[in-house]
Amino acid sequence: MSDTVTDTATPSPVLRIEDLHVRYGGSHILQGVSFDVPGRGVTALLGRNGVGKTTTLKAIIGLAPRAGRIIVDGEEIQGRGTTRIVRDGIAYVPEDREVFGGLTVDENLRLVDPDRGVDAPIVAELFPDLVQRRSQRAGTLSGGQQQMVSLARVLLRDNRLLLIDEPTKGLAPKLVTEVAEVLAEVARVTPILLVEQNLPLVRRIADTVVVLDAGKVVHRGRAADLIADVELTRELLGVSMRREGAA
Amino acid sequence: MSDLLLLGVTGLGLGALYFLAASGLSLIYGLMGVLNFAHGAFMMAGSYAGWLTMTGLPGSLSVGARLAVAVVVALVVGALIGVVVEVVLIRPLYRHHIQQVLVTVGLSLAAVAAAQGIWGADAHPIEKPTWMSGTTQIAAARLPNDRFLFLVVALAVFLGLMALLHFTRLGLIIRAGVENRTMVEALGINVHRTFTIVFAMGGAAAALAGILYSQYAGSVSPAQGGSLLIFAFIVVVIGGMGSLVGTAVASVVVGLVQQLANYYAASGVGDLSVVMLLALVLLLRPASMKGAHA
């Protein structure tokens, strides 16, 4: 297992995590996680199932009880509540989308942007299908469409950082490609910390990777370097690109 | 036929009172997951606030005018108590459901004991406007006027709440929060402020139910809120916890079943029928306990 390999340090990371711990009941889920997220591009947070990737995102956003330092653009935010953190520009797209199924597409978006909702220009630009489905209940949408609602919802705000948890989980290959295109487009403007299991997608859009194992960071470096190293990928993630399809 | 008409209107009137008692309970549970056993204390506070206002106002005012002022006072008192209870007792205990139950049950018991200590355990008669004591003849049935008032008030509250839920931002947040309040928070929306507003609305609706129930019963007593709360809980469970439309439908059904059973079977069978209806609903549709959309 490699320790810190190459830290792709940037002069001013948008997010710095220092010695982050999360405990649920008697379980010590995160055990001193530390890493930086550069101020541009996509940083992929990788690891096998159950190593603490989702918990890391929840801890950052304030949805998990945490100890340690979380610094965004030089400001410590670990003492703030979720609402304040989100209003300060950290957006969160959860695993499994969690759209409000009883609300229409437009109502889902108006929760964040009461004045424009689905009429916001970014929706037409990135998610034209949602404009057509504005009056449809979100619970009746396909998984891919729900993912678009979930992404559109957070993009209606000006964000400093996006935390996105497994956006392609359960999606058909065509939809994975569509999501990848949207994320790549968004990452040109806003840095993304992305939890993802789909290595071809990571190879396609991620610049840097952080790998967790058993609640600790075991690798940091360039995404291309990790994925090119078949043995290291297998050692850290238990998979290799040879077995993965294209994104 | 006239008997059926009379039973229908009195059953609907009773259902209207149940709806007023249950609507706040349903919204509070749906949005916040709080089983508020102190809701009966809110109702009692409303009935006592109304009684004290009516007795405190000059006798030169008509009973109807004093009742109107009493209703406003009861609404304000109910809303204020709702806010205080939410901020002081409930907010520190979010996600601690057992403690919430203990606190709200304790508050309910304490409120009844306090009312008994201050005003005595006996019922106090409350004045009723002449029109509300009278009847209106429709076909061959003489229908009590107060039931029409209860129906109109409940309908106005139902339509008002539906409009609030579907045409305002607060309503949008409440509907989203009933589905997934953690995600509402994760979108940067201050859901705690919404909790306080919903508790205030629930308290006001309960107080309104309390003062109208005292008009129905002709008196106020410390135990009134508790007995109304039992039926409110039954209505909320049958209607699907958190569903306002379900609560409205269940209120009507429970009120009618109770009246019809009392008349056609024997006095007292109405309460038993309602409990049996609850058991039937839980057996056939156990998801009722898990909640529904607002």
ipTM of the complex: 0.86
Ramachandran sector of residue A19 (left: φ over 0; alpha: ψ -120 to 50; beta: rest): left
- Sequence-distant (6+) residues with CB within 8 A of A86 are A61, A92, A157, B185, B186, B187, B188
- Sequence-distant (6+) residues with CB within 8 A of A166 are A54, A95, A195, A196, A197
Q: How confident is the model at residue A2 (pLDDT cuts 50, 70, 90)?
A: very low
Ramachandran sector of residue A47 (left: φ over 0; alpha: ψ -120 to 50; beta: rest): left
Q: How confident is the model at residue A17 (pLDDT cuts 50, 70, 90)?
A: very high
What is the bridge-based pairing of β-strands A192-195 and A208-213?
Answer: unpaired
- Which chain B residue has the Cα nearest residue A155? B187
- Residue B265: phi and psi, rounded to 5, are -100, -90
Q: How confident is the model at residue A18 (pLDDT cuts 50, 70, 90)?
A: very high
Torsion angle defined by CA atoms of residues B172, B174, B176 and B178, in that order, rounded to the nearest 10 degrees: -150
- Which chain A residue has the Cα nearest residue B293? A102
- Which chain A residue has the Cα nearest residue B192? A83
Q: How confident is the model at residue A241 (pLDDT cuts 50, 70, 90)?
A: low
Looking at the predicted structure, is the pLDDT value of residue A158 above 50?
yes
- Sequence-distant (6+) residues with CB within 8 A of A151 are A93, A126, A127, A164, A167, A179, A182, A186
C-alpha dihedral sign at B275, B281, B282, B284: positive
Residues of A in contact with B172 (CB under 8 A): 103, 107, 110-111
Q: How far B80 CA lies from chain A's nearest CA (Å)?
A: 26
The verdict on a CB contact (< 8 Å) between A86 and B187 is: yes
Long-range contacts of B161-166 (CB under 8 A, 24+ apart): B161/B23, B161/B27, B161/B201, B161/B244, B162/B244, B162/B245, B165/B244, B165/B294
Structure tokens at A151: 């992404």
Q: How far A187 CA lies from chain B's nearest CA (Å)?
A: 20
> Which parts of chain B have pLDDT scores under 70?
286-294
The verdict on a CB contact (< 8 Å) between A101 and B179 is: yes
pLDDT at A243: 47
Chain Cα centroid distance, residue B262: 22
Q: What angle do CA B222, B223, B225 make, to 5 degrees?
A: 95
One-letter amino acid at B54 equals: M
Residues of B in contact with A112 (CB under 8 A): 187-188
Q: Tell me the mean pLDDT in the region A31-35.
A: 96
- Which chain A residue has the Cα nearest residue B180? A100
- Nearest-CA neighbor of B100 among B31, B174, B37? B37
Structure tokens at B202: 């629930």
Ramachandran sector of residue A215 (left: φ over 0; alpha: ψ -120 to 50; beta: rest): left
Helix B145-167 × helix B2-32 angle, to 10° = 30
- Sequence-distant (6+) residues with CB within 8 A of A145 are A129, A130, A133
The verdict on a CB contact (< 8 Å) between A153 and B187 is: yes
Nearest beta carbon to residue A100 from set B179, B185, B188: B179
Element (H, E) at B135: strand B135-138
CB contact at 8 A, A69 and A233: no
- Nearest-CA neighbor of B40 among B108, B121, B116? B108
Please state, as a whole number, how many other Cβ atoms lie within 10 Å of the Cβ of residue B93. Answer: 16
- Nearest-CA neighbor of B204 among B59, B57, B85? B85
Contact map slice: A 184-223 vs B, CB within 8 A: none
Looking at the predicted structure, is the pLDDT value of residue A232 above 90?
no
The verdict on a CB contact (< 8 Å) between B187 and A112 is: yes
Query: Of A208 and B178, which is predicted with more confidence?
Result: A208
Residues of A in contact with B187 (CB under 8 A): 86, 111-112, 153-154
CB contact at 8 A, A232 and A241: no
The verdict on a CB contact (< 8 Å) between A86 and B176 is: no
Q: How confident is the model at residue A245 (pLDDT cuts 50, 70, 90)?
A: very low
Q: Tell me the mean pLDDT in the region A166-179.
A: 88
Nearest beta carbon to residue B176 from set A82, A111, A154: A111
Per residue in A220-231, pLDDT (tens digit) is 999 999 988 888
The verdict on a CB contact (< 8 Å) between A110 and B191 is: no
If you count residue pairs, one on A and one on B, with CB atoms under 8 Å apart, how many are there?
52
10 Å CB burial of residue A139 (0-12, 13-18, 19+) is middle
pLDDT at A234: 87
Please state, as a whole number, how many other Cβ atoms lie within 10 Å of the Cβ of residue A30. Answer: 28
pLDDT at B121: 93
Q: How far apart are CA B124 and CA B40, in angstroms?
A: 18
Looking at the predicted structure, is the pLDDT value of residue A246 above 70?
no
pLDDT at A231: 86
pTM reported for the whole predicted model? 0.84
Give the residue from A54, A60, A80, A83 with the most B CB atoms within 10 Å of its CB, the best one to mutate: A83
Q: How confident is the model at residue A247 (pLDDT cuts 50, 70, 90)?
A: very low
CB contact at 8 A, A208 and A41: yes
C-alpha dihedral sign at B202, B203, B208, B213: positive
Residues of A in contact with B186 (CB under 8 A): 61, 63, 82, 86, 92, 94
Q: How confident is the model at residue A157 (pLDDT cuts 50, 70, 90)?
A: very high
pLDDT at B287: 66
Q: How far apart are CA A184 and CA A42, in angstroms?
A: 8
**Can you name the residues that pair with A92 across neighbouring β-strands?**
A163
The verdict on a CB contact (< 8 Å) between A110 and B172 is: yes
Give the residue from B170, B183, B185, B187 with the most A CB atoms within 10 Å of its CB, the best one to mutate: B187
- Nearest-CA neighbor of B103 among B40, B35, B27, B48? B35
Structure tokens at B51: 């009684």
Chain Cα centroid distance, residue B177: 21
Nearest beta carbon to residue A83 from set B176, B183, B185: B185
The verdict on a CB contact (< 8 Å) between A103 and B172 is: yes
pLDDT at B286: 65
What is the bridge-based pairing of β-strands A66-72 and A42-46?
Answer: unpaired
Structure tokens at B222: 């410390």
pLDDT at A97: 86
- Residue A101 touches partner B, C-beta closer than 8 Å: yes
Nearest beta carbon to residue A100 from set B169, B176, B190: B176
